[in-house]
Structure 1
Amino acid sequence: MNATTAATTPAGAPAATHGRLAHMPISMFSIVMGLAGTTIALEKAELLWAWSVSPSAVMLALTALVFVAISLAYLAKFVLHRQHVIAEFNHPIRLSFFPTISIGMLLLAIASMSHHPGVSLYLWAVGSAVQLLFTLAILSNWMHHEKFQVQHSNPAWFIPIVGNILVPIAGVPLGYPEVSWFYFSIGLMMWTPLLAVLFNRFFFHPMIPSKLLPTLFILIAPPAVGFISWVKLHNGVVDDTARIFYYFALFITLLLIVQAKYFIKVSFALPWWAYTFPVAALTIATSVMLEKVGGSFFAMLFPLLLSVLVVLVSVVCVRTVIAMMRGEICVPE
């Protein structure tokens, strides 16, 4: 029995604790993405409907606490079980989840802009720098490899790209338009070929494993986030290009809805969090359409999406807590 095996045996609490820490997945940071996206969506609702209460402030505090807790836990994993972190970074699927760290920081920067502008600037600057480092490292890894196969491609490959498209949402209001254009260009030009790669996989190769089916919702994120960033980069104007981004995100959502029978069969696991941020991104994008374009369609769609988002995040949060209490998370796969 080697040290890793011994650490995962239920011989005592300390051993079990170390075992769970060693097997803590990098995808835990996707929880922050879902919570932060919900925070921003709630803030949009507060502004549009002039709420007298501020649930977004509570959500922001909760999201920040979750981010700090997960960050400290993963830092402990890096210190105590570095070989597991290295193995994750060399894994053909888990590699794409590392930018969830920087994306979490960028989303917190966006969510905290109206409450704590100084903190927002710091989070944006650090998050953008880390995002660039992850993008360079992951793309270099993709270009020089001997392990990636068609079956490894999945929507999580968009995660390193979405982080770049997010940068302008806080970058433009903070006064860094050229930096924002730099990141947006990276995200936009990399999203298009990756989309073609994934549809090639969907059309001509076996479907992704059922556990990863929730990651199909990540397909919504690039065009939805791209729409929001494009509007920011064009001084709040919803032009023809912005509409292309938004309506493509809406089409992808409809495409996934008609496949609901496949998602219903998926047992709960951490990939369920892949549902949350994309739905939040579309909800926020719809709030922008309601604010800038108006009309009864967006007036009905925004509250519908917001309600779905709140229920979805609540359910996934509860299921995650239950799974953690049962010891079903942070275990070997």
Structure 2
Amino acid sequence: MQSTEVAVLPKDETWPFLLRFPISAFGMCLGVSSQAMLWKTLESEPSTKFLHVHPAANHVLWWISVTLMVVVSITYLLKVVFYFEAVRREFHHPVRVNFFFAPSIACLFLVKGVPHPVWEIHHVVWYLLMLPILCLDLKIYGQWMSSGERRLSKVANPSNHLAVVGNFVGALLGARMGLRELPIFFFGVGLAHYAVLFVTLYQRLPTNVQLPKELHPVFFLFVAAPSVASMAWARISGEFNDGAKLLYFISLFLYVSLVVRVNLFRGFRFSLAWWAYTFPMTSVALATVLYASEVDNVLTRSLAVGLSGIAVVTVTGVLATTMYHAFLRKDLFPNDVSIAITRQRPKFSKILAHLRSSSSDVKELVLSIPNLSSSSKQGAYCNDASSN
């Protein structure tokens, strides 16, 4: 909310639930649906066959993911219907706008993690899921390139990785379903804009807005794009070759560099932003499992199991904490002041002009009354005479 605006609803009262339900709630869907994909991969990949993962784990997580996706989607659609202005403000928010990619990405994860073989799913499903991502790419990337206040140099923040990672997830699923040209197209688009975004974020230009401490978990999205890109390129090329390894090692280095910076992720209360930990951790675990299948030894297998275990514990912990805050403390969805429905605060210059026009109107009204005008003049003359 800008300094020139005031909220229509009072800040000290609880707003309607739909107004408090943010687009970032789809981050929960990303975290849980990626877990369904992880357990399916642990079951099927040669590097983790020794774990003897039961197919029921994937089935249960997949149905939980579908249920969560349906609930969140219906809730947000109701917000679109009843509070469209709040949705519009979210779309113009530098952080929230990136979460509009999340519904399509979560659906791609659900298709990839479906208990049945992916190649049995009709290609039309992939086209339908990639259409919103393509439309958002054209809109958001165009703003990054040419829009004044929404240029990437001004709005760059770690959540922008969501605007890139959707292309890699789409390329991964498309290649897995047997498609060729369009997965390469989306991979190329995503890689080009990821390179620009990566450099921009590392530069930390003075024009960038400082990210609030409560949103520091989104720094883990640095890990998501290269890890998913490595899996996508492995599926496109048919093997976990040097290109896929290059992207995987980048993601692994970023993962470790973030883990050792503990102070960056301390000192703020729980919120939906914590779900930004889950999807990137699961993505790097998935990439590690595929890498271990290509470079099979004790070290890579141990790394795959270790990172998968960390991802599972993280998702379980964040999910349990989310349920605690949602159903027991009931403070998971506070008043969303950052995108509150507002009205313009009157500017001082406008108030002054209004007062001047009002005083001139009163003066004209007084002069337009003949008796009052003449009597006032006579009174003035009398006063002058008496003073003499």
TM-score, structure 2 normalization? 0.78
CA contact (8 A) 1:151 1:208 kept: no
2:24 matches 1:31: no
CA positional deviation for 1:3 = 9.8
Letter paired with 1:307: G
The answer to whether the 8 Å contact 1:44/1:284 transfers is yes
Letter in 1 for 2:22: P
Aligned to 2:101: 99
Equivalent in 268, 271, 275 of residue 270 of structure 2: 268
Contact residue 109 and residue 120 of structure 1 kept, 8 A? no
Q: Distance in 2 between matches of 1:170 and 1:157?
A: 21
214, 217, 222: which is aligned to 1:219?
A: 222
Q: What does the per-residue CA deviation read over 1:148-174, in whole Å, with 9 as the maximum and x for residues that have no partner? A: 485642111111110001112211122
One-letter amino acid of the structure 2 residue matched with residue 38 of structure 1: Q
Of the three residues 75, 80, 83, the one matched with 2:82 is 80
Which segments of 5 or more consecutive residues in structure 2 lack a partner in the other structure? 1-5, 338-388
Letter in 2 for 1:21: L
Q: Cα distance 1:201–1:65, how it changes in 2: closer, same or farther (>3 A)? A: same
Residues 201-210 or 161-170, more deviating: 201-210
Counterpart position of 1:13 = none
Paired residues of 1:215 and 1:274 also in contact (CA < 8 A):
yes
In our comparison, the structure showing a higher alpha carbon Rg is 2
Change (3 A) 1:316 1:6: same
Task: Evaluate the alpha carbon distance shift between residue 324 and residue 120 of structure 1 in structure 2; reply closer, same or farther with a 3 A threshold.
Answer: farther
User: In structure 2, how many angstroms separate the alpha carbons of the residues matched to 1:204 and 1:146?
Assistant: 12
In the superposition, relative to structure 1, how do residues 96 and 242 fare at CA in structure 2: closer, same or farther (>3 Å)?
same
Q: Quote the offset at 1:175 in angstroms.
A: 2.1
Counterpart for residue 55 of structure 1: 57
What is the CA–CA distance in structure 2 between the aligned matches of 1:161 and 1:167, rounded to whole Å?
A: 11
Partner of 1:173 in structure 2?
176
Distance of 2:263 and 2:10 partners within structure 1: 41
More contact order relative to length (CA 8 Å, sep ≥ 6):
2
Offset of 1:141 from its aligned partner? 3.0
Deviation at 1:266, TM superposition (A): 3.1
Post-superposition offset of 1:331: 2.4
Shift of 1:206: 8.0
Letter paired with 1:41: L
Alpha-carbon distance between aligned partners in 1 of 2:320 and 2:54, rounded to the nearest angstrom = 27
Q: Counterpart of 1:327 in structure 2: which amino acid?
A: D
Secondary structure of residue in 2 paired with 1:98? helix
The answer to whether the 8 A contact 2:326-2:332 is kept is yes
**After superposition, what is the alpha-carbon deviation per residue over 1:300-332, rounded to whole angstroms, capped at 9, x for unaligned?**
111111111111111111111222231331522
Work out whether residues 224 and 283 of structure 2, in 8 Å CA contact, stay in contact via their aligned partners in 1.
Answer: yes
1:41 maps to 38
Structure 1 position 329 matched with structure 2 position 326: no
- In the alignment, what sits opposite 1:197? 200
Q: Indicate if the aligned counterparts of 2:289 and 2:304 stay in contact, CA closer than 8 A.
A: yes
Q: For residues 94-243 of structure 1, what are the structure 2 equivalents within 5 Å?
A: 94-112=96-114, 114=116, 121-148=123-150, 152-201=155-204, 208-235=211-238, 237-243=239-245
CA change 1:203–1:141 in 2 (3 A) is: closer
The alpha-carbon deviation at position 4 of structure 1 amounts to 5.1
SS across alignment from 1:65: helix
Q: Which amino acid aligns with 1:319?
A: T
> What RMSD in Å do the two structures reach over aligned CA positions?
2.5
Normalising by the residue count of structure 1, what TM-score does the alignment of the two structures yield? 0.90
Displacement after TM superposition at 1:205 (Å)? 7.1
CA offset at residue 194 of structure 1? 0.6
8 Å Cα contact 2:102/2:162 also seen in 1? yes
Aligned residues: 324
Q: Deviations over 1:56-90 (max 9, x none)?
A: 11000000111111111111000010111111111
Q: Percent same amino acid among aligned pairs?
A: 26
